[in-house]
């Protein structure tokens, strides 16, 4: 039997130490991507090995926030994959409009680009006043950035192009104020957004939702953890509620897949429990 690679052994010890010492469970994360991120965190922490990082993490509580921030994947953009949001507006919003109150959960909101995308689309569809959006992530640093709603001005052109391609009705610049090298999104977009820490790995049902968005998060989980999270989403959705995943994700792998019906395969939009005619 071949001996395991030292880095792989150190990675397992890191995962175990993080759970035992600080209560964060990364055991269900896909090892290849997790290893790359842990190595990156070690390098940023001026540690030569994962083992050295683990030793500091055990003894130095102040190091935890930077480690957690480095292990999360807060990479997104507003109106990313515009055709997906165009499908959301065309195929899901008309049904949401039939409810007097709409609960929407953005799980894994990272720095908030997609939560503000959603707020703008709801505003333009005339649905925002009756909507409550819950934006959650396990990374407090990312949540703080999301709540600020401040982004680099360099993103403006790409975001504006995405917005128009998604069917935006105005100019995206109507929703922000530019100053120096940054954009600050209009405060009115936050009026029905609640930001909260929630860990998909360990925490339970967050709210009763009509729509859940969790894009490009499941790809970092092992199959058992993916199915556990899908079960959480199933239990959080109202009957006939909608789930939107990322463009590299699918329900086909999971035992819980049978609970959902495909609404739009290309856009990765699913509906709980209601087959399509």
Convert the pLDDT of each residue in 31-54 to its tens digit. Answer: 888 898 899 999 988 999 999 999
Convert the pLDDT of each residue in 253-264 to its tens digit. Answer: 678 778 899 999
* Structural domain boundaries in the chain: 6-71, 82-272
**Rounded Cα distance, 118 and 109, in Å:** 11
CATH of domain 82-272: 3.40.50.150
What is the per-residue pLDDT for 238?
95
The mean predicted confidence, pLDDT, of the chain is: 90
Convert the pLDDT of each residue in 223-253 to its tens digit. Answer: 888 888 999 999 999 999 999 998 888 777 6
Residue 98's region, left for phi above 0, alpha for psi from -120 to 50, else beta, is: alpha
pLDDT-wise least confident of 16-20, 94-98, 185-189, 203-207: 203-207
Residue 24: pLDDT band (50, 70, 90) is: confident
Torsion angle (degrees, nearest 10) of CA 229, 7, 70, 253: -20
> Residue 269: beta bridge partners?
244, 264
Contact status, residue 18 vs residue 24, Cβ threshold 8 Å: yes
Provide the percentage of residues in the chain whose pLDDT is more than 70.
97
Convert the pLDDT of each residue in 129-155 to its tens digit. Answer: 999 999 999 888 889 999 999 999 998
Nearest to 242 by CA among 227, 226, 262: 262
**Rounded Cα distance, 184 and 152, in Å:** 9
Contact status, residue 113 vs residue 106, Cβ threshold 8 Å: no
Asked whether the CA dihedral 19, 69, 246, 194 is positive or negative, the reply is: positive
The arrangement of strands across the sheet holding 193-197 comes to: 193-197, 131-137, 102-107, 209-214, 237-245, 269-272, 260-264
């Amino acid at each position: 039997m071949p001996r395991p690679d030292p880095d792989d052994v150190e990675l397992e010890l890191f995962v175990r130490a993080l759970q035992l010492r600080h209560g964060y469970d990364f055991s269900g994360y896909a090892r290849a991507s997790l290893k790359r991120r842990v190595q990156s965190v070690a390098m940023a922490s001026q540690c030569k090995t994962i083992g050295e990082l683990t030793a500091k993490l055990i003894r130095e509580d102040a190091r935890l926030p930077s480690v957690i921030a480095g292990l999360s994947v807060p990479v997104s953009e507003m109106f990313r994959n515009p055709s997906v949001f165009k499908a959301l507006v065309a195929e899901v919003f008309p049904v949401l409009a039939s409810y007097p109150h709409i609960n929407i959960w953005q799980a894994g909101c990272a720095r908030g680009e997609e939560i503000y995308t959603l707020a703008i689309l709801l505003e333009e569809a005339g649905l925002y006043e009756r909507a409550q959006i819950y934006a959650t992530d396990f990374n407090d640093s990312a949540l703080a950035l999301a709540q600020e709603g401040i982004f680099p001005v360099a993103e403006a052109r790409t975001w504006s192009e995405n917005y128009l391609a998604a069917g935006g009705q105005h100019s995206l610049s109507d929703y922000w104020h530019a100053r120096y090298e940054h954009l600050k999104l209009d405060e009115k977009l936050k009026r029905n957004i609640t930001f909260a820490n929630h860990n998909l790995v360990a925490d339970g049902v967050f709210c009763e939702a009509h729509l859940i968005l969790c894009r490009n998060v499941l790809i970092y989980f092992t199959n058992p953890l993916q199915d556990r999270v899908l079960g959480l989403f199933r239990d959080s959705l109202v009957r006939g509620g909608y789930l939107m995943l990322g463009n590299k994700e699918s329900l086909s792998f999971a035992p819980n897949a049978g609970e959902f019906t495909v609404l739009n395969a290309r856009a990765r939009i699913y509906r709980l429990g209601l087959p399509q005619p």
